[in-house]
Amino acid sequence: MSQSFPQRDERLGKKVVYQIYIRSFNDSNGDGIGDLRGITQRLDYLADLGVDCLWITPFFPSPQNDNGYDVSDYRAIEPIYGTMQDFEELAREAKARGIELMLDMVFNHTSTEHEWFQKALTGDPTYLAYYKFVDAAPDATAKNPGPPPTNWQSKFGGSAWEYVPGLNKWYLHLFDVSQADLDWDNPAVRAEMAAILRFWRSKGVGAFRFDVVNLISKEPAFEDDLEGDGRRFYTDGPHIHEYLQELVREGDIDGAVTVGEMSSTTLDHCIGYTNPSRHELSMTFSFHHLKVDFLGGDKWALTKPNIEQLRDVFRNWQEQMAVGGGWNALFWSNHDQPRPNSRFGDTDRHWYESSTLLPTCTHLMRGTPYIFQGEELGQTIADYTSIDQYRDDVESINYYRILQERGLTPEEAFRVVHARSRDDGRTPMAWDDTRNAGFTTGEPWIGVVGNYSTINAKTECADPQSVRAYFKHLISLRKAEPVIQTGDVRFVDAPIGKVIAYERTLGNVRLLVQCNFSGNRQPALPTEGGELLIGNYPANATDVSTLRPWEARAYIWR
């Protein structure tokens, strides 16, 4: 099925990346906020799990309006997270354990507190040209600025434009009003970003994640979107591939492990981003599989996950990326998603099975798997009961208001936010069963999930049948089995739509994976002559014709 692309770094098929949401991972000084030294303290835990690379969310100086994704200085450390010496110690200790650090680079926008934007506010033409400023009408005033340049909507709700009276201009912010979009059509901006990468490369950083990077190239003419919210004018824009190639070349990261977060992207573009002959990115995050429970495509309208649609999305992206020489980042969870076992499974009646079904489904696919902190423990969605408990997610707080403006009651709006909030996955890492789950000796910045007394790292590290032990086995299989690392992929039509099944092949070796995304028994595909490689139920040789609720099994023929 797939063509041969020998230029691809063979390490990609063996690697597993672990994402750390620094604010919630481990607090070393008792202030209730995770920090760099806290990560260093837990490196042995991560090395034992078997991960190769740590993606750490932004720890640069920031007003924290979007928890670090509003950067005010790309070459320094936010004091609440530590010092540059703390980072250098982390880098040394990680390297000593064979673990690479992946920094999270937010290059589509800066904080409005960044020195560049502050100089722009003084009218400095050099720095005005760093951002997407548009002149307002000559008679515009602070009280009556007139209509914004376009009807584009911010990802966080409301207009994507903000009026600046002192300049009589509007600036574009696709996200929070404090996150001003940079103008990548300006060569000086591109040079600044490349220099930032070289700075961190000099610190020993070997991997980078680029936040919403496919939004950096906008259409040159601003116009109203009469069909949607504006995204078709700034997504996968006219110079995106050119700018990425330049960034890789000038930033000296060709050969480094890189991943791009792609907002509302297309499969064809992601093949282009990741085909190694183009020298852009190692892999991409795409989110189509995490929209199968959006009613009518609306994130803020709830419905049950459509497993048939989920299977079709996986089939399309796995098979077509293989044909085109692209490479997928494999994930269910990150700092912007609710906990997947609560979302796609049944954590009330089948917590273990739901927590192990999901990684079985994706870790054995073609690509590089990502684990979000606590996912390997089976941590569940936040058990909050009030909107006041959501501390970090500006999007959720905005939409709690917007949903009520649309006619929902406060209770209905909260039910939607509780199911969708980014804070649902940002709760503290559960390290043990002591106060605050061992995350901090102080008061945590956001509340821990109440089931930490049983779902925690200390308990699971001591249990050979735990969710964590299962994840560790999956990681070891990827490192041991070439068919998982580099094999072709083909999806198999299962007897029932709630079952997702696919096979990997490499030479004479064949791997069959089948996953039951339901609480009922379902017919299984035939596996005669195959060896059970991994499964999330005790082996039962007397009944292999059915899959039990939320069961996953993988067989191999050699």
**Tell me: the pLDDT tens digits for 205-246?**
999 999 999 999 999 999 999 999 999 999 999 999 999 999
**pTM score:** 0.95
Query: What is the layout of strands, in order, in the sheet containing 169-172?
Result: 133-135, 169-172, 161-164
Query: Which of 86, 261, 293, 319 is the catalytic position?
Result: 261
Q: Which of 271, 262, 158 is nearest to 214 (CA)?
A: 262
Measuring CA to CA, how many Å separate 420 from each of 92, 216, 370?
37, 26, 20
- Residue 261 annotated among the catalytic residues of the structure: yes
Q: Which domains does the chain have, with CATH numbers?
A: 12-110+187-472 (3.20.20.80), 115-181 (3.90.400.10), 485-557 (2.60.40.1180)
394-405 vs 410-420: helix axis angle to the nearest 10? Answer: 150
- Active-site residue identified among 70, 183, 211, 424: 211
32: left (phi over 0), alpha (psi -120 to 50) or beta: left
β-strand 488-492 against 552-557: which pairing, if any?
unpaired
Per-residue pLDDT tens over the stretch 92-115: 999 999 999 999 999 999 999 999
pLDDT at residue number 541? 62
Q: What is the predicted pLDDT for the residue at 495? A: 80
* Residue 326 binned pLDDT confidence (cut-offs 50, 70, 90): very high
31 is an active site residue: no
Indicate the SS3 state at residue 273: helix
Q: Tell me: the pLDDT tens digits for 339-397?
A: 999 999 999 999 999 999 999 999 999 999 999 999 999 999 999 999 999 987 788 88
